[in-house]
Amino acid sequence: MEKSQQFVETENEILVQECLRVIASLTGAKRAHLHFLLQERKFDKEVFFWANSPEGLLECSEMAAIRLDHPWWVRNLRAQDLLKIEDLTLLPEEVTADREALQRYDVHNLLILPVYDGKRLAGMIRLENVSEDHSLQEIEISLLHISAQLIIRMLCLAHDLGELRRDRARMVYHQEYDDLTGLPNRVLFLERIKQAFDGNSSLLFAVLVIDIDYYQLIHERFGRAIAERLVQAAVNKIRLNLRAEDLMARLGEDQFGVLIQDVQDRSVVEMVATRILERVREPFVIEGDEVAVTASIGIALRNGHLRTPEEMVQEAGIALLEAKQSGRGRWLVFDESMREELIRRMEVENDLRRSLEENRLVLHYQPITELKSGRLIGFEALVRWIHPRRGMIWPTEFIEISEKTGLIVPLGLWVLRQACWQMHLWQERFPINPPLMISVNISPRQLEEPDFSEQVKKILEETGLPPSSLRLEITEHTVVQRSGALIEALDSLRTLGVQLYIDDFGTGYSSLGYLDRLPVDAIKIDRSFVSNLGKAKSSQGVVQAIIQLAHELNIEVVAEGVETFEQHRELKRLQCEFMQGFYISEPLDVLAVERFIAGRSGFVFGAD
């Protein structure tokens, strides 16, 4: 409570007591009480009293619970300007409890003055043991009513002033603090960073920007209430790793800032960041269920180049972005190369976004054949970018950036739709039995989309391609990193009738144990092992082990990057089912594919 408000309330209480004293003296009463009806309890203090002796004041305090709120009192007060009870024993039975309570304090008679707030009966002034020798004159009765109105006006004014002060305090609070967590918001956070800049300390200070990984997925899956509970739980966990003098703020829905001041060197800040990540990684228990999440942290350290708090938060944000795009669940300290990389990435992203809108992307298709017979079974769709200034740009330059920026989602859908549409046209033009198939690479970011399987279903319906003719390829790295949520996403895709392949197999050995639990139809051996066939025994051993394991699990195998006859022969000996690579053909544009199919219909490719 503000000091000025304390003063006003104390001053008002004195004035009310003085008015009660005047009223009591006019009537010869020993004690006077002012109390408000239940529905009118809007004042900070609900009971005021006065007595002509210290003992009487003590009794008044004890009598505060006697309110006379029964409807009988209210009816009679509204009917009369002044309610006089000369003998309590004459009160009706319906207020027996009030009568007995008053008699316990030796009350013999009452004079009750109604107190109105406008036209509403707000309360009453109860005068006890009024002098029987004193007969009130008309002018005295008028003085009683004037005193009562003075009291209510004074209290209403004090109440309104108090409400104004509280409203102002609430407004100031909402301007600087977050409602959900009670943490300072961005405005106050920046102000505290400014104070740190202006300070004279020679010690280091740092800003951490912390973000809960995959928060939007949690929000979409569990709903807003659970997501907010997660935010509150995360705040509590992060606070456990901070000192009392460190400042934590909420900067966004799932983003927090931490200001750490007066540390000797950056290792202290890095240790704090590590502890925060470890603490957040511990499962959250929300409504009896365990929810496992991770966080990413960007760190900015004070240096001679920084001039404003905004710049420092921006640098921590850039480091956070880099941490999230480097795999999440980690911290990174800002350096200038991150800013340069961000600018380059933004330029590529903007150019790529425009190219999507202007149809400057094309698909090339690399044939996939059966090793045993040489039969063409389909193609893998590979995206190419025709830049207006730089010409043809290969996927190695823009796919990673589109992954990091999220542009991979619309890009991936464009590739999927284009590939399905093209394969449907080829199936009609070249009715080979069994029909040709199309393989399309799917990004982890696409699998994170909650409606991805519905998007695939819609594309198949729009293009007319049978689901059995579509193969979706996910990298082995995706399996390793997201095995928990992945199975559910893959099951929904498998239900559509499409086939699922694991791409680049062999580069993440930890996923071997997942094969029997994943709904996949085939694996593609990474080109790094295929290229060393015939050169390194270790590669031959790995390829052989992968093929044997896949066959035991009834999973087919495709070898990528086959370039020589020797590789082709060795894969055939190891009973690999399918292959693709320059040994058969480089990726082809649409016209070249049609010449490839038309010129070789009825023939086999790559057979001995």
Q: Which pLDDT score, from 0 to 100, does residue 601 have?
A: 57
Question: What pLDDT is recorded for position 517?
Answer: 72
Question: Residue 583: pLDDT above 70?
Answer: yes
Instruction: Count the alpha carbons within 13 Å of 271 in the hemisphere toward its beta carbon.
Output: 8
Quote the pLDDT of residue 102: 86
Contact between 440 and 470 under an 8 Å Cβ cutoff? The reply is: yes
CA angle 235, 182, 5 (to 5 degrees): 155
Report percent pLDDT > 90 for the chain.
27
Domains present along the chain, CATH in parentheses? 3-168 (3.30.450.40), 186-334 (3.30.70.270), 345-600 (3.20.20.450)
Q: Which residue has the tokens 């210290």?
A: 54
Q: Which residues are CB-contacts of 257 (< 8 A; sequence separation ≥ 6)?
A: 186, 189, 207, 208, 209, 210, 248, 249, 250, 251, 313, 316
Tell me the pLDDT tens digit for each residue of 303-313: 666 668 898 99
pLDDT at 529 exceeding the cut of 60? yes
Q: How far is CA 340 from CA 15, 211, 531, 558, 561, in A?
A: 70, 22, 36, 40, 34
Kindly report the number of other CB atoms within 10 A of residue 341's CB atom.
16
Instruction: Name, in order, each residue with C-beta under 8 angstroms of 128's C-beta and a sequence gap of 6 or more.
Output: 29, 30, 31, 32, 33, 102, 105, 107, 109, 110
The tokens describing 142, both together, are 């008028």
Which range among 39-43, 134-138, 178-182, 400-404 shows the weakest confidence by mean pLDDT?
A: 39-43
> Which of the four pLDDT bands, split at 50, 70 and 90, describes residue 445?
confident
Kindly list the strands in the beta sheet with 247-250, ordered across the sheet, starting from the edge strand earlier in the chain.
247-250, 255-263, 204-212, 295-301, 331-333
State residue 419's pLDDT score. 97
Helix axis angle, 336-357 to 395-405, nearest 10°: 100
pTM given for the model: 0.56
Return the beta strands (E) in 171-252 as ranges: 204-212, 247-250
- Find the Cα–Cα–Cα–Cα dihedral 126, 131, 135, 141, rounded to 10°: -20
- pLDDT band of residue 5 (cuts 50, 70, 90) is very low
Higher per-residue pLDDT: 454 or 444: 454
pLDDT at position 531: 86
Contact status, residue 474 vs residue 503, Cβ threshold 8 Å? yes
The beta strands (E) that lie in 29-143 are given as 31-36, 47-51, 83-85, 110-117, 120-128
End-to-end CA distance of the chain: 92
The rounded Cα 535 to chain-centroid distance in angstroms is 52
The three-class DSSP label of residue 18 is helix
Distance (Å, whole) CA 485 – CA 492: 12
E strands, 271-413, where? 284-286, 289-291, 295-301, 331-333, 361-370, 376-387, 391-393
List Cα–Cα distances, 457 to 468, 485, 495, 521, 554, in angstroms.
Answer: 12, 20, 10, 19, 26
C-alpha to C-alpha distance for 305 and 72, rounded to whole angstroms:
78
* pLDDT value for 6: 38
Q: Are 559 and 571 in contact (CB under 8 A)?
A: yes
Render pLDDT for 65-102 as a digit per residue (tens, 0 to 9): 777 878 888 888 888 878 888 888 888 888 888 888 88
pLDDT at residue 206, as a whole number: 92
Highest mean pLDDT among 20-34, 343-357, 388-402, 454-468: 454-468
CA 97/CA 100 separation, integer angstroms: 5
Provide the Cα torsion 488, 492, 498, 502; round to 10°: -10
Q: What is the mean pLDDT of residues 415-430?
A: 95
Which tens digit of pLDDT belongs to each residue from 207-234? 999 999 888 877 877 788 888 888 888 9
- Confidence label for 8 from pLDDT (cuts 50, 70 and 90): very low
User: Pairing between strand 247-250 and 331-333?
Assistant: unpaired
Three-state DSSP at 152 gives helix
**Residue whose pair of structure tokens reads 């009679």 in the numeric block:** 76
Asked if residue 382 has pLDDT above 90, the reply is yes
pLDDT score for 369: 93
